[in-house]
């Protein structure tokens, strides 16, 4: 699978907005930015056109409009004015630009084959260029793997003909001068625009990997097929991929993961896979990241069966692993220095059948903790637990390690935060200030993330109620009917993996962060928005690029 086959569209630089290769110029801006267009040399010729149009339609910057412009300025005669609306109120953020850019890109999709040049000034938000270029247009252009027939060789032609879009062009001079990325690139350097292109391409490819794994149905992306896809996506790259497919090994080394997949094992095509991704950057390692993702290809609920239509869309219960795959694709492209990253994609299918695991079972985990099963529909924490324990074992020997779990884990998180992921730090991670730092990064890059805290009762909740077990998995109620329903699983994962034995008071503290995505990727079957992939890449990878 080639790198270009993972891009939703080709990205090249343009010399001028007067380049005849373009069928349109997309201008993303706000009412506050109108007076500044004339002072910007590269787009000053458009300013009189915008001024004239605003006299006819003074609400233009609150909508998306197609404006006719003289062909001597823009050869195609087309200017798409994509207004952001207000951007200066206390609650406005960079996503105003993101939404405007997406509408600007979607407007010409009904035309025949097109090429468009996108321009957005930074003004209030320094990261609006990355938001506009790397996320909005690619969301509009992404065709699902199912629509592509699952055949990577056909991707290029399908994306052009099926989506009626040929190129998204970036104006290098404007981007260099006005789309500053202070946390990533040095402003004013001659290679700023090429660096931005690389960042956009990295995000685009990572989005494709994430969406292909996360959105595709339970047969096309059953565990073995996810493994095959990942091996293809990282072939001949910078990521080492190892797949554990021996079910006897999974049963021995990852007993809880095996339990969740027990009913599905009767079908060879549904057997579990543990996919390990590893990257070692150039130079001495300064930071080591271990990222474990929940990968339930379809969640029936198991014996605690989902009823009343609640199973619909559960093919996205593997989106935690999908984010892990996308995260490593960004690493593969950007090649950050001085870090090591290890990922575990825990691919299972929570089926129902005569061999299904049930409540009342007590299963001994990799860490030696005995886990009492209360609810088979709380399978995500079980799926990740043993790989997390393995990651903890590796972290004890690593340089400045930080462990993560990423999962679409609870409905409680959705009720609490809507379409925003929640992060929960243990003591060492909290002491490092990581949550606050990454929250600021998420705000800058248009993918906000919320912070939840853990309290003593979250840990007490999971203590066993009988002598035959050390911990209870949860309770018999759904998370939405459980007090602190999205916080307690983070405590469980720490206790069951023994990460809690490496707190701030220990001789060997380990940083650990649990990320409950809830449903922040969006509702099935609409095209998803990889979340919190953007924030994780910006917070963990870009500082090392």
| Domain locations in the chain as residue ranges | 3-148+179-188, 203-544
Looking at the predicted structure, is the pLDDT value of residue 4 above 80?
yes
pLDDT tens profile 175-197 = 322 233 322 322 234 455 677 78
Q: Is 280 exposed, middle or buried (0-12, 13-18, 19+ CB in 10 A)?
A: middle
Whole-number pLDDT of residue 157? 28
d(CA 538, CA 545): 10
Across all residues in the chain, what is the average pLDDT?
Answer: 86
Distance spanning both ends of the chain, measured CA to CA: 25
d(CA 334, CA 347): 26
pLDDT tens profile 158-169 = 222 233 333 444
d(CA 187, CA 177): 7
pLDDT tens profile 343-401 = 999 999 999 999 999 999 999 999 999 999 999 999 999 999 999 999 999 999 999 99
Whole-number pLDDT of residue 386? 98
Q: Give the chain's length.
A: 545
Torsion sign across C-alpha atoms 373, 347, 319, 297: negative
Looking at the predicted structure, is the pLDDT value of residue 153 above 70?
no
Tokens linked to 500: 């809690």
* CATH no. for 3-148+179-188: 3.40.220
Catalytic residues: 306, 381
User: Of the candidates 45, 36, 121, which has an alpha carbon nearest to the alpha carbon of residue 79?
Assistant: 45
Q: When comparing pLDDT for 305 and 155, which is higher?
A: 305
Q: Where are the beta strands (DSSP E) in 502-545?
A: 511-516
Classify 398 as helix, strand or coil.
coil
Asked if 3-148+179-188 and 203-544 have one fold, the answer is no
- Looking at 3.40.630.10, 3.40.50.300, 3.20.20.70, 3.30.465.10, the CATH number of the domain 203-544 comes to 3.40.630.10
CA-CA-CA-CA torsion for 433, 434, 435, 438, nearest 10 degrees?
A: 130
d(CA 390, CA 393): 5
Q: Is residue 509 left, alpha or beta, with left meaning phi > 0 and alpha meaning psi from -120 to 50?
A: beta
d(CA 216, CA 297): 9
């Amino acid at each position: 699978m080639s790198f270009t086959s993972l891009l939703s569209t080709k990205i090249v630089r343009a010399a001028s907005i007067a380049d005849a290769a373009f069928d349109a110029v997309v201008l993303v801006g706000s009412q506050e930015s109108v007076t500044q267009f004339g002072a910007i040399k590269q787009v000053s010729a458009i300013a009189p056109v915008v001024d004239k149009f605003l006299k006819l339609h003074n609400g233009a910057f609150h909508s998306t409009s197609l404006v006719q412009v003289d062909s001597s300025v823009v050869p195609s005669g087309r200017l798409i004015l994509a207004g952001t609306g207000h951007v200066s109120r206390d609650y406005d953020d960079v996503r105003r630009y993101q939404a405007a850019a997406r509408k600007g890109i979607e407007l010409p999709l009904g035309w025949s084959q097109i090429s468009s040049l996108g321009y957005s000034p930074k003004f209030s938000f320094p990261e609006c260029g990355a938001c506009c270029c790397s996320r909005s247009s690619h969301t509009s252009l992404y065709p699902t793997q199912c629509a592509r027939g699952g055949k990577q060789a056909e991707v290029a032609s399908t994306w052009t003909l099926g989506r009626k879009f040929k190129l998204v062009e970036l104006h290098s001079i404007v981007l260099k001068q006005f789309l500053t990325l202070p946390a990533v690139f040095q402003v004013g350097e001659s290679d700023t625009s090429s660096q931005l292109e690389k960042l956009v391409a990295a995000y685009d490819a990572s989005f494709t990997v994430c969406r292909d794994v996360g959105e595709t149905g339970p047969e096309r992306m059953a565990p073995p097929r996810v493994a095959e896809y990942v091996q293809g996506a990282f072939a001949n790259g910078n990521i080492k991929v190892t797949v554990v497919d021996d079910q006897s090994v999974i049963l021995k080394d990852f007993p809880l993961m095996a339990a969740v997949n027990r009913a599905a094992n009767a079908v060879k095509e549904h057997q579990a896979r543990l996919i390990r991704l590893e990257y070692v950057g150039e130079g001495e390692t300064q930071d080591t990241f271990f990222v474990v993702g929940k990968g339930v290809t379809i969640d029936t609920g198991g014996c605690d069966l989902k009823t009343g239509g609640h199973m619909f869309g559960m093919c996205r219960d593997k989106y935690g692993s999908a984010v892990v795959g996308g995260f490593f694709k960004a690493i593969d492209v950007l090649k950050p220095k001085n870090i090591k990253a290890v990922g575990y994609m825990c691919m299972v299918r929570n089926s129902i059948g005569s061999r299904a695991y049930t409540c009342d079972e007590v299963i001994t985990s990799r860490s030696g903790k005995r886990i009492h099963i209360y609810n088979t529909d709380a399978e995500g924490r079980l799926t990740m637990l043993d790989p997390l324990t393995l990651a903890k074992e590796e972290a004890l020997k690593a340089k400045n390690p930080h462990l993560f779990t990423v999962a679409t884990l609870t409905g409680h998180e959705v009720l609490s935060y809507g379409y925003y992921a929640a992060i929960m730090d243990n003591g060492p991670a909290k002491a490092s200030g990581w949550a606050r730092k990454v929250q600021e990064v998420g705000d800058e890059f248009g993918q906000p993330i919320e912070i939840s805290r853990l309290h003593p009762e979250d840990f007490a909740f999971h203590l066993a109620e009988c002598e035959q077990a050390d911990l209870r998995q949860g309770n018999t109620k759904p998370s939405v009917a459980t007090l602190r329903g999205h916080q307690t699983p983070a405590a469980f994962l720490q206790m069951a993996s023994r990460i809690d034995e490496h707190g701030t008071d220990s001789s060997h503290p380990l940083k650990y962060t649990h990320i409950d995505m809830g449903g922040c990727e969006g509702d099935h079957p609409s095209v998803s928005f990889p979340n919190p992939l953007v924030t994780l890449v910006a917070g963990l990878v870009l500082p090392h690029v």
